[in-house]
Amino acid sequence: MRSLYLVAGTTMAGVSSVFALLAEIHNEYGIAERDLGWIAGSAFVGALVTQLWLSRYADRGYGGLLMRLGVAASAAGLFWFGLADQLWQFVIARLILGAGVGVIVPASRRFIIVNAGEDQGRQLGAFYGAYLAGFVFGPPLAGALTVAFNVQTPFILFGALTAATYLSVYRLEIPAAENSGAPKKGVLRRLIQVREMVAALLVVVSFRYSIGVFEPLWAPHMDNLGASTMVVSLSLTGFALPMLIIARWAGSLSDQYSPRATSLLSALATVPLMASYGWIASVPILFIAAMPHGIMEAVQSPGSQAAVSDAAPIDDAAAAQGLGEAMGSAASMVGALSAAPLYAWLGAGPAFLIGALTMAGLLTASWLLDPPTLARRR
């Protein structure tokens, strides 16, 4: 699984650099704050399309091919992002990057789910930890390169590193489900008719919606508070580092207890934190507030993935994960496209607060639809 972890960490280092440098792109190229949502949102559009149409093929023996296509698209998107200087170019480059990640994730999860057995929560946590490693080290490196050279340099470098990881998956084969062949018609429709699946997906949607809100708001908010490019980048490391430290342990919680319970309760704990960010006017306090948020996200992410997996037949594992990623991408797109204009019109406080209230509504609906218990269903 080391090749999967390498791809995950390198790709996320590039993705998180976009996140960290949005304020710098705004300042360097004169892109309006309300338009930053288009850059953030386009990634989720690309991911949504590939997850809906391609993820199910990972169940049919094409996981290795999807992985290679995803790596190539991610590298191309990062290269283009480094060469862009207009809004439409950033949007298209981000869309291609999102499409690449959109096929890497379900293909990787398919490999883990069919090989990890009862240990899948811990292995999904380790996979998530690899992504977090990219998130921890990507932003500060991107910030340092921007200060030393220019804002284009980090994207060119991470594009080259992502392209190099192609060699690690060149011969990777991800096993097909036992009943492989042509994708079964109606698999997605059948999945969303299961109450437990819908409840699990609502937690995924809530989490990914919060990411969509977070991406176009965090860097501009800190920039407006006077934080430098390097400080903004380090703030993302401060958010992700606790997640990285406990990722493997957090994933194992979903093996011991109900992943529905661990994901839902940890997601609920992030709602008041999300609501507070826009009202905080101190950069150090923002740093402190982000750390417990990161811890809760480390528990929530593998838990919600395992909950989706538990609700699906094993032969539809990748299709279920792809559905979760697709719905999550759609939620992130809505969050990004709505949060940036709200920030420009109303300010940081109302923008973050509206995001938190939306999260609370989705999580409440999940709880009412399928109240969780601590004991894991087998």
For residue 378, what pLDDT band results from cuts at 50, 70 and 90? very low
Compare 266 and 119 and report the one with higher pLDDT.
Answer: 266
- pLDDT for 111: 75
Percentage of the chain exceeding pLDDT 90: 39
Q: What is the pTM of this model?
A: 0.81
Q: For tokens 């950069």, what's the residue? A: 283
Query: What is the rounded distance in angstroms from the CA atom of residue 274 to the CA atom of residue 108?
Result: 30
Which tens digits make up the pLDDT trace of 284-333? 998 888 888 888 887 887 788 778 878 777 667 667 776 787 788 889 88
Q: Which domains does the chain have, with CATH numbers?
A: 2-168+194-369 (1.20.1250.20)
Task: Write out the DSSP string of 265-311.
Answer: HHHHHHHHHHHHHTT---HHHHHHHHHHHHHHHHHHHHHHHHHHHHT
Which tens digits make up the pLDDT trace of 338-349? 999 999 999 999
Which tens digits make up the pLDDT trace of 93-134? 999 999 998 888 777 777 777 766 666 666 766 777 787 788
- pLDDT for 324: 80
What is the average pLDDT score of the chain?
Answer: 84
- pLDDT for 375: 58
Q: If we measure between CA atoms, which residue out of 79, 74, 21 comes closest to residue 43?
A: 74
Can you give the three-state secondary structure of 140-203, one letter per residue? HHHHHHHHHCCCCHHHHHHHHHHHHCHHHHCCCCCCCCCCCCCCCCCHHHHHCCCHHHHHHHHH
pLDDT of residue 214 exceeding 70: yes
